[in-house]
Amino acid sequence: METKMAGEGQKSKGWFWWVLVTVIAVLVIVAVALTILKDFHSKAAKVHHSPVEQKYADALGIAMQFFDVQKSGQLVNNRISWRGDSGLMDGSGEGLDLSKGMYDAGDSMKFSFPMAFTATMLSWAILEYGDQMDAVKQLRNAQDSLKWITDYLINAHPSPNVLYIQVGDPDLDHECWQRPESMTLQRPLTQVNTSYPGTEVAAETAAAMASASLVFKKINSTYSSLLLMHAQQLFAFADTYRGSYSVTAPSEQRFYNSSGYGDELLWAASWLYLASADRSYLRYATIDHGQEFGNWRRPTWISWNNKLPGVQVLLSRVDFFGASEVPITENLALQMYRETAEMMMCSLLPDSPTATSSRTESGLIWVTEWNSLLHPVGSAFLAILYSDYMLTSGTEALFCSERSYTPGNLRDFAISQVDYVLGENPMKLSYLVGFGENYPQYVHHRGSSIPADATTGCKDGFKWLNSSAPNPNVAVGALVGGPFRNETYSDSRNNSMQGEPSTYNSALLVGVLSGLVTSSSVANSFL
């Protein structure tokens, strides 16, 4: 009996020591894990809070101001001394308040198609790089500018199947040269509806609303929900009543003619999936219509008219970070989008076996004479996004044929395009007005070219267009159209091909500059 008890005591002591050793081992493992985790967070913090690239921070602060230059309506916290209230009666004839929004370019028109694209790209920039914008005190400015557009878009959508897409008559507007504050013209409205559909503009507006709903989700949940509701209604309208808005609004054919609406439908569905987590939108963009509209394995250039490169990179984001939650059928389509995005990235890299020849001798992507900087700046934004998706996901290499490239190679490409814009070019000219010491002085822009105290009518304002004096008001942050293929630029107010700025160019530039402000990967999720 005593022997038995003694044996049990020895077993008890053995068990105790085994448990103690196990506990100690677990504590050691936990301690090591915590040390590693702490080190990881420390390194992540160092990446996130790496030194600010002052050149890009300065350029970002300047570029952001062009949205203030373009604002219509009763201005709040106006940062542009020569701008004042304008367009206050826009929409009043139809009982609407369309006073907000932004003038498209150097004129006084409000075209919803490019304006909505501006909002979508600005939303995307904020969602990916809002923390970096915040680090250089530009996040609030970006959010305010975005809301100035979305307030207008909400009011332009008074019922589910009606969307006002234009304020002003472009023919009449272009016959005048006067400041927006002095407009004397009638401002007719153009709408799309079930009888006169406009799939492109309705879908792009849906994309703008959906992406913006994500921006405001944590800071204004009520406004975010309102945006999402409008986005869902507009997408249903765009998809149910299909038809080109260029047919409904023939004047658009000369200014923002659409080459098709399939890309906008995919774009809107992709943003609605991210904003709502409703998988029917992902199915729409992948299984249901991916092959029909996706143009897989044929990369193209992003612009206000072509959203496919944006769709490819945005859905690559889903493939990078959320593919495990996606059914296999949708996943296969996501891989096709990502494969096309990678083909596009390979075409951008200058020493890639599949590099595009659409570039100048100095390396600037160059596709068209009109507004030539649209494509290099847009390409740079997509490249910096893809680079950061690779970094965040731990994807070490991108393969172009049999050659491999790193996220750093894509970042270098983006830097090369931005540096060219900021003055590292044969003209030694900064194409961003207000940045550096040498930038265009004769920007094709009504408000910039006419003294703020001048009293002009419609026709007599043309003396300012034809004046030999530099613009009296600096259109701070304007990204002009850009150089010709031979890398020359003529700084003439009558040269609208090269010298007219636009809000969508600015949104793309803000995006890539925000990505370059510091070295930081992106968040896995917008939510």
Q: What distance in Å separates the CA atoms of residue 208 and residue 192, rounded to the nearest whole number?
A: 17
Enumerate the β-bridge partners of residue 479: 432
Strands 189-192 and 398-400: unpaired
Would you call 444 a catalytic residue per the annotation? yes
Angle at 116 between CA 113 and CA 117, to 5 degrees: 85
Residue 224 in tokens: 């975010």
Residue 286 burial (C-beta neighbours within 10 Å; 0-12, 13-18, 19+) = buried
Any idea what DSSP says for residue 165?
A: E
Residue 312: which of 323, 326, 325, 298 has the closest Cα? 298
Residue 294: which of 256, 260, 319, 328 has the closest Cα? 260
Query: Any idea how long the chain is?
Result: 527
- Cβ–Cβ under 8 Å, residues 429 and 439: yes
Residue 479: which of 452, 464, 493, 498 has the closest Cα? 498
Strand locations in 154-242 (E):
163-167, 189-192
Q: What distance in Å separates the CA atoms of residue 508 and residue 124, rounded to the nearest whole number?
A: 10
Q: What distance in Å separates the CA atoms of residue 384 and residue 313, rounded to the nearest whole number?
A: 11
Residue 454 burial (C-beta neighbours within 10 Å; 0-12, 13-18, 19+) = middle
- Cβ–Cβ under 8 Å, residues 390 and 28: no
Q: What distance in Å separates the CA atoms of residue 103 and residue 113, rounded to the nearest whole number?
A: 12
User: Which residues contact residue 12 at a Cβ distance below 8 angstroms, ignoring those fewer than 6 apart?
Assistant: none
What is the 3-state secondary structure of 102-121? ECCCCCCCEEHHHHHHHHHH
Q: What are phi and psi of 175, to 5 degrees?
A: -85, -5
Q: Single out the catalytic residue among 157, 375, 444, 445.
A: 444
**Coil, helix or strand at residue 323:** helix
Any idea what DSSP says for residue 285?
A: I
Any idea what DSSP says for residue 287?
A: I
Q: What distance in Å separates the CA atoms of residue 279 and residue 270, rounded to the nearest whole number?
A: 10
Q: What are phi and psi of 359, to 5 degrees?
A: -155, 160
Residue 31 burial (C-beta neighbours within 10 Å; 0-12, 13-18, 19+) = exposed
Q: Which residues are catalytic?
A: 444
